[in-house]
Every structure is written in C-alpha cells, then in structure tokens.
Amino acid sequence: MVRQIELSDWGIMDLVECVGQMYYSIVINELKRMRTSGLYRGVSYNGLLYMDLIRQMDNPTVSSIAETLGVAKSSVSQKVSELECRGLVNREREALDGRVSHVSIAPEAVDDVSAIDAPIRAALESVSRDYSEEQIQMVCAMITSVARALDAQTQDDR
C-alpha cells in the first residue's frame, strides 16, 4: 500500500495521486502551450511525445522506437516521416546497412524541442529554492527508483 500524506494545499493524497496530479498539470500545460504558442510547428500531441522519446533515447532507430512503444515499424516510420516533413527530425541511413535509419532532432528544431521542458524547468527551479540539497537528492532518488521500476515492468512485458 502506498502511504498517504497530508498536503496543506491538496489535502490527503498518496504518492500515486501526487504523481498523477503532476502528470495532469504537465499535460495540460503542454496542450495549452501547443495551442497558443505556435511552437512545435503544428505537430500533434502524439508527435510531441515522439519527439520527446527521440530526444531521450540513445541514438534511436525506427526499429528501436517501434520496439520501445510496442507498435509496428510502419507506424513509427509514418510518424517520423511526418516530423521530418515539418523539419523537426532528421533521419539518417546507416552506411553499412541502408535499411537502418537513425532518427534525431533536427538542429534547427532544438529550440522548439527544448521549449517542451521550459515550464517544468522553471517550476522546478522556483520550487527547489525552498528545499535543501539533501531533500532534492531524496526526491531525485525516488523519481529515479520509480522510473527504473516502470522500465523493469516494460522489459518484463516484452
């Protein structure tokens, strides 16, 4: 059972609810920014998620993205082509095996993609002033542990 804590602004919540609230706030922020800012060159939210995935993965290929998502390579290839047409990603064929394409964020789109993180970066910088280095390290350790547990579950599903 996940322990509950009392938060002055939110009432009694457990960690799952806290993470859910943060995720909800991030998604709503991104969707509103997409609608109002003109960033991301008209790409869909699904496209934005693909760009974030491409940015986080180590030298991704269409195949590795498809495997990570558990979807068909053709679906990933179609989405990557859409992002490529918008100038957001580059696809570079491997010299030894032309069937393999490595995908990366296009240099001219780096600022657009970095803007994805701007609101959360600003919020974390603001909030982190209220906490000690030790408290921040503890939160980072918890987040990293949760991410590893989720990654392990994903590996088990393959």
Sequence-ordered strand ranges (E) for 28-151: 89-93, 101-105
Whether 97 and 54 have beta carbons less than 8 Å apart is answered as no
CA 146 to chain centre: 15
Torsions phi, psi for 81 (to 5 deg) = -60, -40
Convert the pLDDT of each residue in 71-112 to its tens digit: 999 999 999 999 999 999 999 988 888 788 899 999 988 887
The DSSP output letter for 61 is: B
Convert the pLDDT of each residue in 22-46 to its tens digit: 889 988 888 888 777 766 667 888 8
pTM of the model: 0.76
